[in-house]
Chains A and B, each alone.
Chain A
Amino acid sequence: MSSAISPRSARTEAGIDRRSLLAGPAASLLAAGLPPAAAADTPPDLAQLIARVTEGAVPERARIRLEIPALAENGNAVDTRIRIDSPMTPAEHVRWIHLIAEKNPFPDMARFHLGPRAGRAEVATTLRIAQSQKVAAVAALSDGRFLLAEADIVVTLSACIDGG
């Protein structure tokens, strides 16, 4: 589906592409690796997208805040801010933050690369949200762990549906 809408949006990040993930035996392996709690309250599609960016590691739902409006009148520009509680020292910092919208034509929205020079792990941007759905922010920490925050958003006027 993403290839039809965004023909040039081949994934640049290393990883498994979604079709092979769904088709191959990797899918069952990844699903088996997820804890029952994460599998229960996350739609399977989003869980797979998250597992892809964390390379199968189970993220913690702590120390990360995803600030996104619960109701957006216009999905073409949704203000989003992500804050992570991290000392941002060379020993302990946030490496990157990845934003996923499972129902967007291309679910990967953006990846912010940070480092100890940031001083504070806080970024903001405006997003295109195609329809009402769950948005996820995944953060990778320097010690190899991952953090996850999710937020539900209702979109009144969808992005990516008409020609504009």
Chain B
Amino acid sequence: MNFNARISLPASVRAGEIVEIKVLTRHPMDRGGQSDGKGGTVPRKILNRLTATYAGETIFRLDMHTGVAANPFVSFTTRAIETGDIVFEWREDGGATYTRTARLTVT
């Protein structure tokens, strides 16, 4: 599967600071409905959900429909609490999931 994610975070932040997290994902986000050339149609296959978990809680969730571009980009913010992993989980149509983590260093 053609999936790859680039997550960008500041190298280190102070506790309490607001951090912007940018996530760029490589995914075709097939919106479906096109002809497959054999009389059928291509099924929809997009990443339909991105969940981010940090310091014991879900901090962000994005529900995506076909209106989100191919290779989806998303940016959101969170307040720095403690040094730890931010876990990203994508859910794809068909049930596949992809997980990546990014370390947030809090001083």
Which of A's residues lie within 8 Å of B, judged by CB?
A: 4-9, 12-13, 76-79, 81, 99, 101, 104-115, 117-120, 122-129, 159-160, 163
Is the beta-carbon distance between B74 and A5 smaller than 8 angstroms? Answer: no
A12 to B, closest residue via Cβ? B63
The A/B interface has a contact count, at CB < 8 Å, of 126
Interchain CA distance A7-B72 in the complex, whole Å: 21
Q: Which of B43, B62, B67, B72 contacts A8 (CB 8 A)?
A: B43
Is the beta-carbon distance between B69 and A77 smaller than 8 angstroms? Answer: yes
Interchain CA distance A132-B78 in the complex, whole Å: 34
Q: Which of B18, B60, B93 contacts A112 (CB 8 A)?
A: B60
Is the beta-carbon distance between A6 and B33 smaller than 8 angstroms? Answer: yes
Is the beta-carbon distance between B34 and A108 smaller than 8 angstroms? Answer: no
B65 CB contacts on chain A under 8 angstroms: 6, 9, 106, 108-110
Q: Which of B54, B57, B62 contacts A125 (CB 8 A)?
A: B62
Q: Which of A106, A108, A117 has the most CB of B within 10 A?
A: A117
A117 CB contacts on chain B under 8 angstroms: 54, 57, 59, 78-79
Chain B: interface residue total (CB-CB under 8 A): 36
B67 CB contacts on chain A under 8 angstroms: 99, 101, 104, 106-110, 127-129
28 A–B contacts, CB within 8 A, in A order: A5-B31, A6-B32, A7-B43, A9-B32, A77-B70, A81-B75, A106-B65, A106-B66, A110-B63, A110-B68, A112-B62, A112-B76, A114-B60, A117-B59, A118-B59, A118-B78, A118-B79, A119-B18, A119-B77, A120-B18, A122-B75, A125-B69, A125-B73, A126-B68, A126-B69, A126-B72, A127-B67, A128-B70
Interchain CA distance A119-B64 in the complex, whole Å: 22
- CB proximity to A under 8 Å, residues B27-49: 31-35, 41, 43-44
